[in-house]
Structures are given as C-alpha cells and as structure tokens.
C-alpha cells in the first residue's frame, strides 16, 4: 500500500470550504484566518471572479500570490482594493444586503448553527479557556444572507449547549427567531465545514443536517464525534479528499508560511482503489 495523500485537518476544511464558493458573489470575512484562505484558494482554482470585503474596510482587494506573511499586519493584504473604507462602512454594506456570504471560524457550534468564539468553561468571569471574542463574527453571521462556518469535528465542539453564544445561528430554531431578535429576514447559517464532514440546515426545522462525509470516514464516526444528533440527509454525498492540485496551491501560494499546518495530520492510503486513513499523528503546529 502506498501513501496517496497527506494533509492536516485544517487544510482539509479550507479546501472543502473553497469548493463551496459561488462565482460572482460577494463574501465578507474577518481579518486573516482560514476563511480568508479558503476564499483566496477558491479565487485561484475555481471562482476567480468572487470578490470579498474585509472587516477592516478593505473592499474587493486583489492580494498577490504567494500571499504575504503575517497577513493581518501586511499592507499587501489590502492591495489593489477598489476602496479603502472603515469597519462601520462595510458593516453597513452588509446590513444593506450587499454581502452574500459570510465565512467564519467557530470554537463551538450547536445544532442550530449558533456558535461560540468567547470562552470555554462554566463561568464567563473565570474562563477555563478564553478566546479572542466574537470579533466581527456576530455582525457577519447576522447581516450576510448566508453564513459558512469552519471548525473541527469534535464532541467538545459540536455541543448540545454552547458555553457562550457569541454569534447567532437560528437561535432556538423556532420560525422567525432571528427576526424576533432584531436580525434581518431570510438570513442564517448555510453550511458547517469540518475536516471530514459538511453540514447544512433543514429548511423546516433549521436543525443541522449532515450532507457529506469523507470516504475515509463514515456517518457513524461523524455522529460519534458530535454531542447532539444532527439530521442526516437521505443521500449523504462523498466528500472528495483534497487534491494534489488544491494542496499544492494552498501550500505554495495561499499559505506559504504554513499557518494552516495545524490540527492533526491525515494520511490516506490507496487500499486497492479505496482511500483508507492511516494512523493519525499530531501535527507540528507553528505559532
């Protein structure tokens, strides 16, 4: 048996997310991070004409590839934009309905797509682990028409009850819950992407629904990694692994400084035509 492919869980999520991009649409992202990398990858490989707006007021930039190191602090990240505005202005553009998709990373997510970027533990004032905070995620998840969430598939991340709801999904899932909370109509979470499974949301119940699973994983394995039981699509699609081309582009041009080399390594072996996962090893995580 020969090793066919090796990638990290983080890389997988970026690749799968990039495949969800819809040509000619306008995306809203925070400054830096996997969501932006997914968009940059998509622009290189599949949907060159998507444009994105950054939380800091940068509108439709054309970042050069290979991308600059330390993106959040690089003038190049804002280069060749059509306009440099500010945070309030782009939030207003989102509020007016111009921004189709928001792409965000989440620490914890529940069955209605609500998510946590604030802390883990049972006491807000004395967090077991404190994170950066909602950042721009709450406005992006509230004002864009559709939200795509990125996270890892782990029981501690797909929870029945969030330690803290930083940003809204469908709230309690009841019809019109977002509108009753003051949010614009017809908005909400669209996809949740992990390294081995992609979820959507049921139109009727607004509950998370398993749509696709990696061939080297299984529905049972996926459900086993979740504290709540999602709906499962009648026809769960196979989630094609990252291709050599996708990984090469990601590593050489989108993330040359290797910030996405985190999470675990996944090695796939070609077992007589079917891909099988080799034993996992922890990744060398860079700062």
Residue 57 token pair: 């007021």
State in angstroms the smallest separation of the CB of 28 from other proteins: 11
Q: How many CA atoms lie within 13 A of 97 on its CB side?
A: 5
State in angstroms the smallest separation of the CB of 93 from other proteins: 7
What is the CA 129 to chain-centroid distance, rounded?
21
Nearer to other proteins (CB atom), residue 132 or residue 224: 132
Crossing angle of helices 9-18/34-45, nearest 10°?
Answer: 50
Residue 78 token pair: 């804002």
Residue 218 token pair: 């299984």
Cα–Cα distance measured from residue 90 to residue 85, given in angstroms and rounded to the nearest whole number:
7
State in angstroms the smallest separation of the CB of 103 from other proteins: 15
**Contact in structure between 258 and 281 (CB atoms under 8 Å):** no
**Contact in structure between 75 and 58 (CB atoms under 8 Å):** no
State in angstroms the smallest separation of the CB of 283 from other proteins: 18
Nearer to other proteins (CB atom), residue 5 or residue 183: 183
Pairing of strands 51-54, 26-29: parallel
Nearer to other proteins (CB atom), residue 64 or residue 224: 64
Nearer to other proteins (CB atom), residue 86 or residue 270: 86
Nearer to other proteins (CB atom), residue 97 or residue 224: 97
**Contact in structure between 173 and 207 (CB atoms under 8 Å):** yes
State in angstroms the smallest separation of the CB of 221 from other proteins: 31
**Contact in structure between 128 and 119 (CB atoms under 8 Å):** yes
State in angstroms the smallest separation of the CB of 147 from other proteins: 12
Nearer to other proteins (CB atom), residue 99 or residue 226: 99
């Amino acid at each position: 048996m020969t090793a066919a492919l090796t990638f990290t869980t983080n890389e997988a999520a970026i690749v799968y997310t990039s495949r969800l991009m819809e040509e000619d649409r306008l995306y809203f992202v925070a400054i830096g991070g996997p969501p932006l990398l997914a968009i940059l990858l998509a622009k290189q490989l599949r949907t060159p004409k998507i444009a994105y707006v950054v939380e800091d007021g940068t509108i439709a930039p054309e970042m050069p590839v290979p991308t600059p190191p330390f993106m959040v602090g690089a003038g190049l990240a804002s280069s060749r934009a059509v306009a440099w505005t500010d945070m309030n202005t782009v939030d207003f553009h989102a509020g007016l309905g111009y921004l189709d998709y928001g792409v965000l990373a989440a620490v914890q997510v529940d069955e209605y797509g609500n998510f946590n970027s604030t802390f883990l533990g049972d006491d807000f004032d004395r967090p077991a682990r404190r994170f950066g905070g909602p950042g721009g995620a709450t406005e992006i998840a509230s004002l864009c028409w559709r939200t795509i969430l990125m996270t890892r598939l782990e029981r501690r991340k797909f929870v029945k009850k969030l330690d803290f709801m930083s940003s809204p999904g469908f709230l309690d899932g009841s019809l019109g819950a977002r509108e009753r909370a003051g949010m614009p109509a017809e908005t909400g979470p669209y996809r949740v992407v992990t390294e081995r499974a992609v979820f959507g949301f049921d139109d009727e119940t607004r509950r998370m629904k398993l749509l696709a699973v990696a061939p080297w994983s299984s529905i049972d394995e996926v459900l086993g990694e979740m504290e709540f039981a999602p709906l499962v699509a009648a026809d769960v699609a196979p989630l094609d692994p990252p291709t050599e081309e996708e990984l090469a582009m990601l590593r050489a041009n989108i993330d040359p400084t290797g910030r996405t080399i985190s999470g675990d390594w996944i090695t796939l072996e070609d077992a007589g035509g079917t891909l099988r996962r080799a034993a996992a090893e922890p990744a060398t995580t860079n700062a």
